[in-house]
Amino acid sequence: MSPHTYEEIQQLLQTNRQLETPFLILDGQLLRANARRFRAAFPNGQVCFAVKANNDPRVLQIFHEEGLHFDVASWGEIQTLANLGVPASNMVFSAPTKLPRDIARAYKFGIHRFAFDTRIELDKLASLAPGSNVIGRVTVDNDGSHWPLERKFGIEPGQELDLFLYANQLGLNPYGLTFHVGSQNKDPHAWVRALERLHPIWLALEENGIHLSIINTGGGFPAHFNEPVPEMEEIAAAILPALERLFGQKAGLIVEPGRGLVGDAGIMAATVINRARRGDSDWLYLDVGAFHGLIEGMDFFGFQYPVISERQGEPLVPFVLSGPTCDSADVIHHQAMLPSGIGYGDRVYVLTAGAYSNSLEKYNGMGFPKTIVTGID
């Protein structure tokens, strides 16, 4: 299912083979190709990469060169982009809940497009980013998605008009509607259903003199794990006619892919550091696990990374894959099919590891809180 053949993986590893594991390889050519495919699939849309999916400056540089814009979630992410020369006009602050200091810094930097989903967020924007363009996050069904987001975000259904009227009252500029169909969504019609849900909201706003300019269809584009998924072009072929049918020429389009741009490009190289038989399962212990980049393999997230090894000619049998930490939750796979003789010292490659892996080190551009130890002279 990975876009890389075994030979391509070998090629990507060629110059890095001697490196001590673990390490994450990101295929720059594939990143570039994906950026081009997204831009071609949405020729009149603004493709904004969701930086939270992978915040490595070299990845962001490639996307900047390829003409992508960016969805940011914090001042930390904005700073990383600013250091690469990305102008504020190429950024949209789509996190519905923002740190107040981040709003102020973003506004001062020149960002004038912000998402919201509550009155409080509108109050914050009115005082810290006066006159900004505001985009209302609407709840939509997340059917078809592996990682739904609908519970945490979105304007309470039925409150959309009230909130936009309130935004007007506060001197903010009602600018658009946005939604997220949930990460790793395999159903292109999820986006169509979401647009159909937006339509009556858009009409009600128009009837009340609120004329929006933008629809932001969020992320959700799937990467290739162990099952078939629609390609970005297929999803675009569902979104674009629905947008035209429901909104005609009135709505500009933003799309915010994260996983769909970077997931396939990542290969985590790891080494087996232990093997054990526990009950009726075979366990392999790797030198990398859930707490150092492969969090989405944990039961809670349930993503099934494709995993390969370089051993040839042995039958494939199921293994539980665990990370090196002393935490029992540090398990990233329950049924990785690997050669039966695999053991201590063998290399393992975890594929489709380019999204929400290295960015966890400073997730959403936010570092860890500082620690204060009291009672020390």
Ligand X SMILES: Cc1ncc(COP(=O)(O)O)c(C=O)c1O
Q: What residues make contact with ligand X under the rule CB under 6 A?
A: 50, 52-53, 71, 94, 180, 183, 218-221, 256-260
* Shortest-Cβ-distance residue relative to ligand X: 219
Q: Nearest-5° angle of CA 360, CA 361, CA 363?
A: 50
Least Cβ distance, residue 148 to ligand X (angstroms): 11
CA atoms 85, 86, 89, 95: torsion sign: negative
Nearer to ligand X, 226 or 271 (CB): 226
Least Cβ distance, residue 351 to ligand X (angstroms): 17
Least Cβ distance, residue 96 to ligand X (angstroms): 7
Nearer to ligand X, 51 or 351 (CB): 51
Residues 89-111 as b or e (16 or more Cβ within 10 Å = b): ebbbbbbbebbeebbbbbbebeb
Least Cβ distance, residue 52 to ligand X (angstroms): 6
**Spatial distance between the Cα atoms of 47 and 69, rounded to a whole number of angstroms:** 6
Least Cβ distance, residue 147 to ligand X (angstroms): 7
Nearer to ligand X, 223 or 268 (CB): 223
Least Cβ distance, residue 67 to ligand X (angstroms): 18
Nearer to ligand X, 55 or 94 (CB): 94
Least Cβ distance, residue 217 to ligand X (angstroms): 10
Is residue 22 a contact partner of residue 270, using CB atoms and an 8 Å limit? yes
Nearer to ligand X, 270 or 355 (CB): 355
Nearer to ligand X, 124 or 259 (CB): 259
Amino acid at 334: H
Least Cβ distance, residue 177 to ligand X (angstroms): 13
Is residue 42 a contact partner of residue 255, using CB atoms and an 8 Å limit? yes
- How many CA within 13 A on the CB side of residue 65? 12
Nearer to ligand X, 142 or 322 (CB): 142
Nearer to ligand X, 260 or 324 (CB): 260
Least Cβ distance, residue 352 to ligand X (angstroms): 13
Nearer to ligand X, 316 or 360 (CB): 360
